[in-house]
Structure 1
Amino acid sequence: MNPVSTITPPSLTVSGATSMSLTCPFPREMPSRTKLVATLGPASESDEMLAKLILAGVSVFRFNFSHGSLEEHAERLERVRAVAKQLQANVAVMGDLQGPKIRVGKVPPPGITLRTGQDVSIRRAVPEAFVADDGTAVFGTTYEQMIHEVRAGQRVLVNDGAIRMLAIEDAEAMARGELRCRVTVGGLVTSSKGINLPESDVRAPSLTERDEVCVRFAAEHGFDYLAISFVRTADDVRVLKRLLEDCGKGKGEDRIPVIAKIEKPQAVANIDEIAKTAHALMVARGDLGVEMDIAHTPIAQRLILEAAKRYGKPAIVATQMLESMIKSVMPTRAEASDVATAIFAGASAVMLSGETAVGRHPALVVETMRRIALEAEAFTIERDSVEPSLPAALDAPSRRQAALAHGAWHLARDLGVKAVACWSQTGGMARNLSRSSMAAPVLAYSSDFRWTRRMALLSNITPILAEPPSTGYLADWTDQVEADLMDFGWVDPGDHVLLIAGKPLGAPQTTSAIAVLEVGNRATGFRAHDR
């Protein structure tokens, strides 16, 4: 990688009093409410392309720990942080753990082609796959315990289900410590292809040794989110939380929120407990579509999104959203509909994988996704005005903030406000306003850069990094919000803006008051509150 070069950013510095130092992405162009997650890779790691992606609408960059060395990830992280700083943009980074992915062992090139009806043997300690004299294809695996966990009649899928086999009864093979299968759909098997066992009770640990190394790397380098793969139960999420606690990143303002990737049928069956335990959910449709009947995948997606809404958690929909744009300059009609449908169903964010990691047009695909999101959102806002319900399983402080956001939703609707601004030091009020699905955009102020970055994942939230006014007056914050919104071009004189804050500004869980600002009217907002 080349060192980060100097980027001349567009005019992004916002005006305002010297008592506050602000940064905000896209100040003169309304961002999409749905957040866009882009996977980093060779096609998107340059400083120039990172700048294009941020300006096109990316709020979160995904680091896929399944590929690349930690040294490469460290270089990319440094680049993302540097470019975001130059563009004055609050951008989050998410580490995606590989998890206990089961893979085929080494296969000699160009691979072994399996035929329908052929027998396959999966064995321990196979340095390289081969075809035995009796025609049986013999493979090793990265998870040898599967030999004892797969039962006769259960499916064994290779290469995302392109190759299909059934385990067969063979007492002698079991005694020798091998798993015998018969091919039902053949194809070419090459090294390290994934193996899925949708019907087997796999007891692999939720975090591998490699995952633990990556977790410590993410904690040391200040990642904003960590996604755990192949979650089966809420206990898997708790394992990662405990490891983060050991790293000093499990509690308080330093905690790294955990995203549970839902990609196994067991996770869908346990979705309520997982949603309660995780900070966010991801509909990881790649392995999910392999592990279960493809016809059930859309239903599973809906169930996951409903659970996220029920417990007030952000939800990301991922995999093959605009996959044709890896090569093409236009998505298919089905892909455009897929993105919009996810937004209609309540996704907080939509994610790009190969499209931005290795695709030919990373910036174009982000801009295309953003345009689809804006159209879908405008349609939803125009047609839907459903009163939000309070999320389930809230503790007392969270319930107070959720109730305040619930009341703010009614005020915003009845007054037809053009924007909402809140002070949300550690993201609590921002999360509540995000889950309330307000029609107006929300600015969320905080003086903690860690939380302005983490708020970048929250739908309909534009985070603002700011120091509280030196006077401590909410009246001065009112002046600043009005100046910012006018400078952004989001409001006009006479428009109403809802303000939500508490004293002292900059302290967590102090939000307790709502005021209505009429732009241009010096008697409104919090101006009469403390003067």
Structure 2
Amino acid sequence: METTSPHYRHTKIIATLGPATQTRERLTALTLAGVDLFRLNMAHGSVQWVAEIVALIREISAEVEREVAVMIDVKGPEIRTGDLPEPVVLTPGDQIHLFTTNATAPAPTDVLSVSVNYPDLPSDVAVGSTILVDSGLMRLKVLNKDATSVRCQVMTAGTLGSRRHINLPGVEVNLPSLTEKDEADLIAGIDAGIDFVALSFVRKADDIFALRKFLDDRGSPARIIAKIEEQSGVRNMDEIIRAADAIMVARGDLGIEIDYHCLPLVQTQLVQACQDQGKPVIIATHLLESMIQSPIPTRAEISDVSNAVREQADAVMLSGETTTGAYPLESVEVLKNIIQSIEPSVSSDLNSRIKLIEPKEKMLRSTARLAQDLGDSGIVVFTRSGFLAYVLGALRPRGVPIFAFTDNESIFRQLLLPWGVEPFLIDFSADPEETIQDAFERLKEKGWCVPGSWLVVITNALANDKVIDTTQIRQVE
């Protein structure tokens, strides 16, 4: 089923900003190329940068008349090794002494000693368990431990530098969900008017509740994206999805934390769990990793992105490809080309997993079916909270654009994330019919429909002084 516009795509595109893309020229090009959401990775960002880059994004959006949402991705708690005078080459069989920063005993002199910033490391790991260092490149086996240190044997060769990331597979670490840096970054993001916050290493719903309170206390309407990147997050996925506004399948750390051959299964499980609850889901990390250096993707990367589109993820995200890569614009074009080739082959069956409870939600399912049956149609919905548009996106009416009109600027940008939703910012009139006609005019101006097009409209109507929900079939004049 074809849509009115040949350029319409359901799957959204997220690009992470960095040295390769943060100039005015590159930001303008990415905005015009169709990026829906910019990600600010605060693992490499400063408070000052947040203020400057968000202001520049908003300025460019106004110039080119195309809004892009902004997500701030806070670094979250990390376990890292300490500083070393110079990198150390480790070979299998070598031993290494990891000591916590609160250790008082002198370090042994017979093996390499390295500090770790996590005081609970000795109590959290068992003898015989595995510690992964530097994104899993080096594997250590725990030989013995005491209250403040752990002695390990090197299992895989590697070069250990300063401040390398540590993963403890299967361990629910006792770290706060927000660090001091995260809080400072969030305040800068709130002041700049960010639309989404991505929370790293989410382990349980309480992590989301803590962030929600932080945002609420400061009057921020930003929506929360929970990053699933460790085993406890996978175990608690249902409660996390319920608490969050959206989920990111962060396949970098997740691929280290779980057996690599299980990663596709966990990705599918997370996508389906989000579709059960009607929450947006983002597939992230290594989608087009080779395009950091190459102008074309590998065949395997094309298949990986195609799989995310077939699974009907709401969005696909670029990281290194657009932060430091040599071909950021080409990477976006590759995503667009794959999406536009694969989407028409995806089943047009509605999402049967979602649990619709309220009568109005069930009305939306009927609306989606009606728009599909009409063919070459679209759904027009008016929303002040974004709820109706998010549910319509979750229903996955393939082939049908969801035109969501709102008078709330924050909601407008937050509607740039869900699958299939094309948002518009307009003033609502006291007369519903006037608002509908204003919406039709905007759609005609933007080339989304032409006179004679049939659209399904969800709106309120007065009946004997009562406001009722209606589904209308309207022909654009």
| Paired residue secondary structure (2:163) | coil
CA contact (8 A) 1:154 1:200 kept: no
Cα distance in structure 1, aligned partners of 2:461 and 2:63? 32
Q: Deviations over 1:140-167 (max 9, x none)?
A: 1222321332111111001111100011
Counterpart check, 1:462 vs 2:419: no
The answer to whether structure 1 residue 144 and structure 2 residue 141 are counterparts is no
Does 2:443 align with 1:480? no
* Residue number among 274, 278, 284 corresponding to 1:312 in the alignment: 278
- Measure the CA separation in 1 of the matches of 2:54 and 2:232: 33
Q: How many residues align?
A: 467
2:459 paired with 1:501:
yes
- Contact map agreement 1:496 1:516 (CA 8 A) in 2: yes
Alpha-carbon distance in 2 for matches of 1:222, 1:139: 41
Preserved CA contact (<8 Å) 1:415 1:496:
yes
Q: Using the aligned pairs only, state the percent identity.
A: 34
Q: Give the whole-Å Cα distance in 2 for the aligned partners of 1:351 and 1:222.
A: 21
Mapped pair 1:163 → 2:138: yes
The Cα shift of 1:479 comes to: 2.8
CA contact (8 A) 1:309 1:346 kept: no
Post-superposition offset of 1:355: 0.5
Could you tell me how far apart the structure 1 residues matched to 2:167 and 2:421 are?
37
Q: Which residue of structure 2 lines up, in the alignment, with residue 529 of structure 1? A: none
Q: Which residue of 2 aligns with 1:217?
A: 188
Q: Which residue of 2 aligns with 1:120?
A: 96
> What SS is found at the alignment partner of 1:113?
strand
Aligned partners of 1:131, 1:373: CA distance in 2, in Å? 55
Structure 1 residue 333 displacement after superposition: 0.8
- State how far apart, in whole Å, the 1-side matches of 2:434 and 2:59 are: 31
Residue 191 (structure 1) aligned to one of 149, 158, 162: 162
Instruction: Classify 1:160/1:390 alpha carbon distance in 2 versus 1 (closer, same or farther; 3 Å).
Output: closer
Indicate conservation of the 8 Å contact 2:10/2:419, yes or no.
yes
CA distance 1:498–1:90, change in 2 (3 Å): same
Equivalent residue letter for 1:473:
D
Task: State the match for 1:95 in structure 2.
Answer: 72
Question: Partners of 1:51 and 1:31 in 2: how far apart?
Answer: 20
Residues 261-296 of structure 1, C-alpha deviations (whole Å, 9 max, x = no match): 011111111111111111100000000000010011
Report what 1:356 is aligned to. Answer: 322
Question: What SS does the corresponding residue of 2:82 show, helix, strand or coil?
Answer: coil
SS at 2:234 equivalent = helix
Structure 1 residue 181 displacement after superposition: 0.8
Deviation at 1:248, TM superposition (A): 2.5
Q: Aligned letter for 1:101?
A: E
Q: Secondary structure at the match of 1:514?
A: strand
**Match in the other structure for 1:153:** 128
Which whole-Å CA distance do the structure 2 matches of 1:194 and 1:157 have between them?
A: 8
Taking structure 2 as the reference length, the TM-score comes to: 0.93
- When residues 361 and 512 of structure 1 are mapped into structure 2, their CA distance, relative to the original with a 3 A threshold, is same
Please show how residues 171-250 of structure 1 align to structure 2 within 5 Å.
174-175=146-147, 177-249=148-220
> How far apart are residue 402 of structure 1 and its match?
1.7
CA contact (8 A) 1:150 1:201 kept: no
Q: Verify the 8 A CA contact 2:97 2:112 in the aligned structure 1.
A: yes
Could you tell me which residue of structure 2 aligns to residue 12 of structure 1? none
Which amino acid in the other structure matches residue 267 of structure 1?
G
How far apart in 2 are the matches of 1:35 and 1:121? 46
Query: CA separation in 1, counterparts of 2:211 and 2:319?
Result: 23
What is the letter of the counterpart of residue 462 of structure 1?
E
Q: Which amino acid in 2 is paired with 1:272?
A: D
Does 1:448 find its partner at 2:408? yes
The answer to whether 1:426 aligns with 2:385 is yes
Identify the residue that residue 519 of structure 1 maps to in structure 2. Answer: 476
In structure 2, C-alpha distance between the alignment counterparts of 1:137 and 1:331, rounded to whole Å? 41
The CA deviation at 1:116 is 0.5
Query: Any stretches of 5+ residues in structure 2 without a counterpart?
Result: none
One-letter amino acid of the structure 1 residue matched with residue 452 of structure 2 = G
Can you list the C-alpha shifts for 1:414-471, whole angstroms capped at 9, x where unaligned? 22242221112221111011111122111111111111111111111111111124xx
Residues 401 and 437 from structure 1, CA distance in 2 versus in 1: closer, same or farther, beyond 3 angstroms? same
What TM-score results when the alignment is normalised by the length of structure 1? Answer: 0.84
- Aligned AA (2:27): L
CA distance in 2, matches of 1:409, 1:297: 32
Instruction: Describe the SS at the equivalent of 1:456.
Output: coil
User: Which residue of the partner structure matches residue 527 of structure 1?
Assistant: none
5 Å-filtered alignment, 1:400-411, equals 400-411=359-370
Shift of 1:476: 2.5
Q: Equivalents in 2 of 1:256, 1:487: separation in Å?
A: 30
Is 384-393 or 445-454 further displaced after alignment? 384-393
Distance, in Å, in 1 between the alignment partners of 2:457 and 2:156 is 60
Aligned to 2:287: 321
Change (3 A) 1:423 1:201: closer
SS at structure 1 position matched to 2:75: coil
User: Are the equivalent residues in 2 in contact too, given 1:124–1:140 (CA < 8 A)?
Assistant: yes
Distance 1:511 1:454, change over 3 A: farther
Higher strand share: 2
1:29-85 deviation digits (Å, cap 9, x = unpaired): 634211101101011101111111111111111011111211112111111111112
Closer, same or farther in 2 for the Cα pair 1:188/1:59, shift >3 Å? same
The residue correspondences of 1:19-30 to structure 2 (distance < 5 A) are: 30=7
Aligned residue type for 2:226: A
Give the drift of 1:131.
Answer: 10
Tell me which amino acid in the other structure corresponds to 2:69.
Answer: A
Name the amino acid aligned to 1:478.
I
Check conservation: 1:151, 1:167, Cα contact below 8 A.
yes
Query: Do the aligned residues in 2 keep the contact of 1:401 with 1:428 (CA within 8 Å)?
Result: no
The alpha-carbon deviation at position 210 of structure 1 amounts to: 1.6
- The residue type equivalent to 1:139 in the other structure is V
Shift of 1:28: 7.2
SS in 2 for 1:232: coil
What stretches of structure 1 move > 4 A for 4+ residues in a row? 130-133
Tell me if structure 1 keeps the 8 A contact 2:322–2:331.
Answer: yes
* 8 A Cα contact 2:51 2:189, kept in partner: no
1:417–1:498 Cα contact (<8 Å) kept: no
Q: Deviations over 1:481-520 (max 9, x none)?
A: 333333333334433111112269xxxxx88222111233
Structure 1 residue matching 2:36: 3-state secondary structure: strand
> In structure 2, do the counterparts of structure 1 residues 180 and 503 end up closer, same or farther at CA, with 3 Å as the change threshold?
farther
| Residue type of the alignment partner of 1:475 | E
User: RMSD across aligned C-alpha pairs, in angstroms?
Assistant: 2.2
Q: Is the 8 A contact 1:37 1:59 kept in 2?
A: yes
Distance 2:92 2:356 in 1: 51
Q: In the alignment, which residue of structure 2 is the partner of 1:6?
A: none
**2:135 partner letter:** D
The one-character-per-residue Cα deviations of 1:175-207 (angstroms, maximum 9, x if unpaired) are 5x2111111002011112111000333211222
Q: Counterparts of 2:352 and 2:169 in 1: how far apart (Å)?
A: 35
